[in-house]
Structure 1
């Protein structure tokens, strides 16, 4: 066998060489560069389209998550369209209701930490739309459970109960004509009242408040609950202590402020805030 020569030139391979376009090489080089940077930073998992909400394209954030529409829009310099706030459904009612009721079910926690416990129910007259018994109950419970309300100074505890449980009183949301029937005071249809164990909130006042009250409707709603429940707890009407001062909650703020500022709460700084006993000879406005 002839001796094998070292350093001899190898024959060219018969395999065909693959020619890669320069643009592909550039893209691959960029991808390799990016991968190197990501690896140096600790890496991130590749986002999956399976993570996107159904029916929506996946907008991938730099961290690998799914971007919100506002994030995605800002990433490309487009301002997201603002979401329209849904206004609350207005409370509507007939002047004369059927005098039948829907009562909120379930129980609230006991409101207050000490004092006599009274349980109450919440009922909304049929024909009143835009507010359910549960929604009305939520406002009443939040109001009466506030430390500025009747449970705030340790004299009373209150608890809302369901329709088949024993209760010391019922808070009714009633149409104007049913208000007159429950209050047994003759034709009024404007104010709210308390009659025995019936605390009657006139839905017309609940929905619209009173002119020139000087505070938001939510404040008036808190006032009318605290005022009428205050009667059930043994409180009578009181007078304005003086111009520019807060009105006592037992002042008839529905009929006039007499120089006082609106105030929905019986407690101020943890103490009962009261004026002199008495009431003004204010006329009842026309309910129409």
Structure 2
């Protein structure tokens, strides 16, 4: 933006007229600049000591999450069981109704009722047997069609051995009167399963109850990268499959594989 400045030039006009009587005298001009009046200098203020800011308190370190110790699993127990005094609604809309009761070996740190309710939720899961017409299930306290027992490794071995199974203190089995679940697997999960014990419990129940509803044979991996069938003995190795706890996919497709035993 341009600014136009008009400069006013003041011209001093000297009188050029001549006075016939006498010339006009000019006032004398001093060349020395005027001397300023002396001023009294203000005293220099003394610096006041500055207060150091108080250091801010260091934030307390946040507690870091510690790795939860796995629960201690007793190797053996008395071989006697507590029955969960619980009953529930029927899950599923088609197929044979199968009533089941849940028993926990005495001396084991598990709530019989709480465990029964967890199993009830597993059997009612939308990717489970009941949701896809493979049977109906109901938790009862008595007059059951089959029983689900959770037992210490030694007791589980003894119960499974009666059916001719060698479970090596590690495995579960299906017997003439129901399902035997190794407490070690229930509490700790499986080293081959990529998920927490809570999810692995779905696989335990779905696999053994799968036998209970008539699926007698085991399956193998359906192909590299595919989810392992629930009827696969996943604890013995995945053979290229991904660990999976459910009989059906999220799209409702039955997860299968070749018959191996």
TM-score, L = length of structure 2: 0.69
Distance (whole Å) between structure 2 residues aligned to residue 189 and residue 102 of structure 1:
21
1:274 and 2:242 are equivalent in the alignment: no
Match of 2:200 in 1: 220
- Correspondence for 2:244 among 259, 263, 271: 263
3-state SS of paired residue (2:149): strand
Alignment partners' CA distance in 1, 2:167 and 2:236: 16
Residue 116 to residue 90, structure 1, CA distance change in 2 (3 Å): same
Unaligned runs of 5+ in 1: 1-78, 280-288
Structure 1 Cα separation of the partners of residues 81 and 229 of structure 2:
32
Q: In structure 1, what is the Cα distance between the partners aligned to 2:166 and 2:239?
A: 26
Partners of 1:166 and 1:89 lie apart in 2 by 39
Within the candidate set 82, 86, 97, 1:117 is matched to 97
* TM-superposition CA deviations, 1:123-156 (whole Å, max 9, x none): 0001211x21112112111110012111011230
Deviation string for 1:196-231 (max 9, x for gaps)?
Answer: 122011001111112142222222111111111111
Q: 1:152 aligns with which of 114, 131, 142?
A: 131
Alpha-carbon distance between aligned partners in 2 of 1:113 and 1:83, rounded to the nearest angstrom: 49
Give the ranges of 4+ consecutive aligned residues of structure 1 lying more than 3 Å apart after TM superposition: 82-85, 87-93
Q: Deviations over 1:169-209 (max 9, x none)?
A: 10011000111111112461101111112201100111111
- Range 256-265 or range 269-278, more displaced: 269-278
**1:271: how far off?**
3.6
Q: Secondary structure at the match of 2:174?
A: strand
Shift in Å at residue 91 of structure 1? 4.6
Matched, 1:181 2:158: yes
Unpaired runs of 5+ residues, structure 2, are 1-58
The SS at the match of 1:259 is coil
Q: Does the C-alpha gap of structure 1 residues 137 and 90 become closer, same or farther in structure 2, counting only changes over 3 Å? A: farther
Change (3 A) 1:223 1:111: same
Partner Cα separation in structure 1 for residue 89 and residue 229 of structure 2: 27
How many angstroms apart in 2 are the aligned matches of 1:88 and 1:112?
A: 36
Secondary structure, counterpart of 1:254 in structure 2: helix
Structure 1 residue 89 displacement after superposition = 10
Q: How many aligned positions are there?
A: 198
